């Protein structure tokens, strides 16, 4: 039984005994705190500015959540196992730029599904590098991924290219523009929810299924709870490490190619510095840095919370420097609240 399952069983037993504890409930369902905070912010902003709840604003939030959400799901899987990854943006940049460059120069007619698969496969291979280093070197994954972040970016800029690719193949442009939902708002502007938005719910469902319905998911949470005990129980740490980082790398590669298609250019310097926001979204979603807990729902809610905060701050004209301040404040607030509830429980 995993750490999360044991905590939830204890909560259920306490409820059955007639001793329901709200603190224990919040400890086992920290994503509810994130949801309440998200709702409170949306209500407050909609009162101040009713335009916030217009369909166009909500679609903008959904569109802006895709790349961050894919990154966050990969980070969450690693975090659940007690590790941490800061190299995912470098993996995305190397994968997306390399695949785009090869497509433009050698295979301009490559079907879009193959381009997506190539980017995801490239990200997975780079993730395997992280997994092998993490297993054989036996040092914290934070140190490993800091090193590979510089390694991957160095390979990209030194050996592959530093020039923006402005002319993408038509199939990539069509993929970035393909509508899932399209309508005209009151001002006459066309509002589009892109087809690539489906990648986020699909990845979220797949991640949930892996973590909650497979032996690999049990192994991930068990290792996050206590890796030594998990190894004695028979879990293969090497296999789990390779899966964790390979899966996160594949999601990063997918996020990268979606980023290129949506922006209609490939910039090797893109995505730098977004690591903290992604990790913040996962932590705000209730995942502990120490591992062994968290949920896909909480991760998605954390992503939405960060995206909404950024959009709201842009709407009211607050500079980007203050946006970082506000996000940092929310991280500290959430951390303090989670620790307080854990002590009470």
pLDDT digits (tens, 9 = 90+) for 21-63: 555 555 667 788 888 888 988 888 888 887 787 888 888 899 9
For residue 230, pLDDT over 70 is answered with: yes
Kindly provide the b/e burial profile for residues 203-228, where b requires at least 16 CB atoms within 10 angstroms of the residue's own CB.
Answer: bbeebbebbeeeebbbbbbbbbbebe
| Region 285-300 average pLDDT | 85
* Alpha-carbon span 230 to 225, nearest angstrom: 8
For residue 280, pLDDT over 80 is answered with: yes
Contact predicate 308/102, CB 8 Å: no
* Class of the CATH domain delimited by 31-339: mainly alpha
Contact predicate 130/148, CB 8 Å: yes
Q: What is the pLDDT of residues 196-220, one digit of tens each?
A: 999 999 999 999 999 999 999 999 9
* Residue percentage of the chain with pLDDT more than 70: 88
Cβ neighbours, 10 Å, residue 242: 19
Contact predicate 293/3, CB 8 Å: yes
**pLDDT band with cut points at 50, 70 and 90 for residue 15:** very low
| Region 115-129 average pLDDT | 97
Domain boundaries, the chain: 31-339
How buried is 50 (Cβ within 10 angstroms: 0-12 exposed, 13-18 middle, 19+ buried)?
Answer: exposed
For residue 176, pLDDT over 90 is answered with: yes
How many Cα atoms occupy the beta-carbon half-sphere of 48 within 13 Å?
A: 10
| Region 139-147 average pLDDT | 93
User: Looking at 1-10, 76-85, 190-199, 325-334, which range is the least confident one?
Assistant: 1-10
Q: What is the pLDDT of residues 89-111, one digit of tens each?
A: 999 999 999 999 999 999 999 99
Contact predicate 191/61, CB 8 Å: no
Q: Give the DSSP letter string of 254-308.
A: HHHHHHHHHHTSB-TTTTTT-HHHHHHHHHHTT--TTSS---HHHHHHHHHHHHH
For residue 188, pLDDT over 80 is answered with: no
* Alpha-carbon span 107 to 59, nearest angstrom: 33
* Alpha-carbon span 189 to 229, nearest angstrom: 58
For residue 240, pLDDT over 90 is answered with: yes
More confident residue, 285 or 260: 260
Q: Give the DSSP letter string of 137-205.
A: H-S-HHHHHHHHHHHHHHHIIIII--S-B----HHHHHHHH-EEEEEE-TTS-EEEEEGGGGHHHHHHH
Q: Residue 317 region, left (φ>0) first, then alpha (ψ -120 to 50), else beta?
A: left
User: According to the model, what pLDDT value does residue 24 have?
Assistant: 55
| Region 322-330 average pLDDT | 75
């Amino acid at each position: 039984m995993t750490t999360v399952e044991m905590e939830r069983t204890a909560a259920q037993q306490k409820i059955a005994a007639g001793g329901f504890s709200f603190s224990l409930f919040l400890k086992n369902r920290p994503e509810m705190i994130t949801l309440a905070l998200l709702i409170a912010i949306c209500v407050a902003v909609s009162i101040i500015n009713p335009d916030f709840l217009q369909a166009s604003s909500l679609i903008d939030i959904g569109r802006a959540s895709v790349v961050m959400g894919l990154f966050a799901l990969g980070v969450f899987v690693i975090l659940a196992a007690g590790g941490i990854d800061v190299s995912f943006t470098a993996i995305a940049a190397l994968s997306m730029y390399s695949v785009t460059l090869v497509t433009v120069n050698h295979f301009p007619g490559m079907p879009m599904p193959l381009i997506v698969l190539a980017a995801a496969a490239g990200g997975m291979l780079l993730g395997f590098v992280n997994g092998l280093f993490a297993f054989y070197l036996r040092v914290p994954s934070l140190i490993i991924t800091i090193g590979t972040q510089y390694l991957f970016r160095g390979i990209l800029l030194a050996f592959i290219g530093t020039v923006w690719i402005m002319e993408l193949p038509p199939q990539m442009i069509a993929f970035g523009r393909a509508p899932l939902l399209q309508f005209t708002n009151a001002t006459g502007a066309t509002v589009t929810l892109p087809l690539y938005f489906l990648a986020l719910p699909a990845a979220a469902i797949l991640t949930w299924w892996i973590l909650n319905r497979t032996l690999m998911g049990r192994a991930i949470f068990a290792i996050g709870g206590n890796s030594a005990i998990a190894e004695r129980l028979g879990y293969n740490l090497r296999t789990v490490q390779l899966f964790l980082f390979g899966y996160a790398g594949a999601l990063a590669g997918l996020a990268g190619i979606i980023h290129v298609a949506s922006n209609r250019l490939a910039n090797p310097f893109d995505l730098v510095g977004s690591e903290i926001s992604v990790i913040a979204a996962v932590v705000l979603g209730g995942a502990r840095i120490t591992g062994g807990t968290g949920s896909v729902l909480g991760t998605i809610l954390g992503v939405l919370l960060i995206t909404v905060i950024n959009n709201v701050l842009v709407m009211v004209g607050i500079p980007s420097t203050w946006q970082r301040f506000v996000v940092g404040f929310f991280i500290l607030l959430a951390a303090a609240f989670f620790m307080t509830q854990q002590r009470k429980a």
